[in-house]
Amino acid sequence: MSNTISESLEKNIQKIKDSIYNKDNLTVRKVKVDSKRLKEINLVFLEGIANTDNIQEYIIKPIKSTATTLYKSSSLIDEIADEVIETANVKITSTYEEIIDAIINGNTVVLIEGQNRGIIAKTAKLKERNLEQVTSERSPRGPMVGLTENIDTNVSLILGMVKTPDLCVESKDVGKYSKTKISMLFLKNIVDQDVLGEVRKIIDQISVNYILESRVVTEEIDGKYSLFNLSEESERPDVIISSLYGGKVVIFVDGNPFGIILPGLFISSFEAPDEYNQKHGRFTLRLLRFIALIMSVYIPAAYVVMSKYYANDLPQKVSKTLFKGDELIPAFWTMLILIILLNMLIDATFRIPQGTIFLISLVATITIGEMAVSSKLIHPFSLICIGITFIATFLIINKGMGAPIKILRLLFLVIGNFFGLSGLVIGTTIMIIYMISLRSVGVPYLSPIIPFRMEEMKDTFYRGRLARLNSSRHSFPETDQ
């Protein structure tokens, strides 16, 4: 069946009805006018997501009021679209595919008997939540508003805050079965052109039936076997805008209240918005988070190595206090069990009703803490180590480092148990070599540390002076094609 609109209005309406199975909401509004040229006009839209007030005010009324005075030009469709319909966004199309997509997205299609083209008027009235305070990236200072699930709202929010004509927005519908809008934002004279080219290539290569989560896009960026996230996500407009000024590219996916920032570098995991809004922590907060990363990965493994290989070399009193006792479970299994139990507890707190979180915490405290220690199943110091480990994890878990930390923690725990300190050193060396090999849209993941770039170090482990950061032009190393 042809994808081109027919001149027969009846055939066009029937094909639309055959293509859209939501018959209860599909509305075909027949408009009668007193005009010889306008034999019959039909308006097609989905009740519930189309704004019927706008349809009546800006489409039906103008058509009826001008029926006898207009429509004298040779192109009837062009005349109605340009001079009659009063909606802000009007488009003329000749394909059924565009018509179906427009109706599904809440727009109104105007079809006329004897015309092989249709008019698409933007009348969508999609339900969305209001702008709310940021929840996952809270900051004591700075803007409080966060992104929403509506991509147009998010784009307009950025457009309203970035006062420059260089801001570019490129949008594309992705999905074979259900199309989802993806928008790419960048600053024309600041963005790294190699990065922009890589991002465009990745988006063009996405071939899926539908997109519900932005993770579909980030997995294409990460590749098949990447341990670390090669992109950064944020729901804060100020973080998004700062990334744009830094020469990065931002991707919005409709239905997701987060922006994807590219390239996503290792050093970005230690940055936080409050560093740019206050003097406190300018030189220390990022170093603190870096130390927290090391602690969260290595503390369980270090405890097992010390307990198994070096406990006898320590003074007896120190060894008994920290490692050795009459506990039933060895250090390795103690750490493994505690890690599993605490991960179960954390996962449960996100899924159970809020009113029962306190109860679960109380039960876990009694079970893991009091009973396990008093019954001499585990050593008390192991609880302290695990507690410090998870507290350290919470400092950087919202920067996409949660999954890599969990995997590396278990991996080094096993290596330390079987191969001791030398195994940890070799494992760390292999991990660093692996991180050096990673690329985020062509940019080295460890940049600007490896390869070392002195001019970019002013915003890595410490935050440099804001005036200098704002005035300098950021760049990335040569990308690998």
Domain-embedded: residue 197 = yes
Q: Is residue 21 located within the same domain as residue 168? A: no
User: What does residue 6 show for φ and ψ, rounded to 5 degrees?
Assistant: -90, 160
Do 329 and 377 touch, CB atoms closer than 8 A?
A: yes
Pair 359, 428 in one domain = yes
Task: Report the distance separating Cα 376 and Cα 325, nearest Å.
Answer: 9
Residues 30 and 159 in one domain: no
* Judgement on whether residues 221 and 337 belong to the same structural domain of the protein: no
Task: Tell whether 244 and 294 lie within a shared domain.
Answer: no
- For residue 422, is it within any domain? yes
CA 304 to CA 270: how far, in whole Å?
28
Per-residue pLDDT tens digits for 205-249? 888 888 888 888 888 888 777 889 889 888 888 889 888 988 899
- AA letter at 177: Y
Q: Which residues of 142-160 are buried (b: 16+ CB within 10 A; e: fewer)?
A: bbebbbbbbbbbbbebbee
Instruction: State residue 481's pLDDT score.
Output: 41
Q: Is residue 129 part of a domain?
A: no
Residue 148 in 3-state DSSP?
A: coil
Rounded alpha-carbon distances, angstroms, from residue 252 to 147, 151, 182, 184, 186: 10, 6, 6, 6, 12
Specify whether 32 is located in the same domain as 161: no
Q: In residues, how long is the chain?
A: 481
Q: Is residue 222 part of a domain?
A: yes
Does 455 fall in a domain? no
pLDDT, tens digit (0-9, with 9 covering 90-100), for 254-281: 988 889 999 988 988 888 776 666 666 6
Per-residue pLDDT in tens (0 to 9) along the chain, 481 residues: 468 888 888 898 899 888 888 777 888 998 877 666 666 789 999 888 888 888 998 888 888 887 666 555 557 788 888 888 888 889 999 898 889 988 988 899 999 888 888 999 998 876 666 666 677 777 766 677 788 888 888 888 888 888 888 889 999 888 888 888 899 999 988 898 889 999 999 998 888 888 888 888 888 888 777 889 889 888 888 889 888 988 899 999 998 888 999 998 898 888 877 666 666 666 777 888 899 999 999 999 999 999 888 888 888 888 877 877 677 788 899 899 889 888 888 887 777 776 677 777 777 776 666 666 666 778 888 888 998 999 998 888 777 788 899 999 999 999 999 999 999 999 999 999 999 999 998 899 998 888 887 777 777 776 766 666 666 666 677 654 4
Distance of CA 117 to the CA centre of its chain: 38
Tell whether 480 is covered by a domain: no
pLDDT of residue 185: 93
Please check whether residue 134 lies inside any domain of the structure: no
Range of the domain at 171: 151-264
For 52-97, the three-class secondary structure string (H helix, E strand, C coil) is HHHHHHHHHHHHHHCCCCCCCCCCHHHHHHHHHCCCCCEEEECEHH
Q: Domain check: are 244 and 306 in the same one? A: no
Cα–Cα distance between 158 and 240 in angstroms, integer? 8
Instruction: Report the 10 Å Cβ neighbour count for 428.
Output: 16
- Cβ burial of 225 (10 Å; 0-12, 13-18, 19+) is exposed
Query: pTM here?
Result: 0.80
What residues have CB less than 8 Å from 452, skipping those under 6 apart? Answer: none
- Residue 256 belongs to some domain of the structure: yes
3-state secondary structure of 399: helix
11, 1, 82: which is closest to 40 by C-alpha?
Answer: 11
254 plus 291 within the same structural domain: no
Tally DSSP H helices, then E strands, for the chain. Answer: 17, 12
**Whose structure tokens read 């055959």?**
18
Strand-by-strand arrangement of the 108-112 sheet? 26-31, 41-46, 108-112, 118-121, 90-93
The reply to whether 289 and 416 lie within a common domain is yes
Task: Specify the pLDDT at position 150.
Answer: 86
Amino acid at 190: I
Q: Give the whole-angstrom CA distance, residue 453 versus residue 458.
A: 10
Q: For position 424, what pLDDT does the model report?
A: 95
Please tell me the predicted confidence (pLDDT) of residue 1. 47
Same domain, 187 and 80: no
Round to whole Å and give the CA distance between 267 and 400.
12
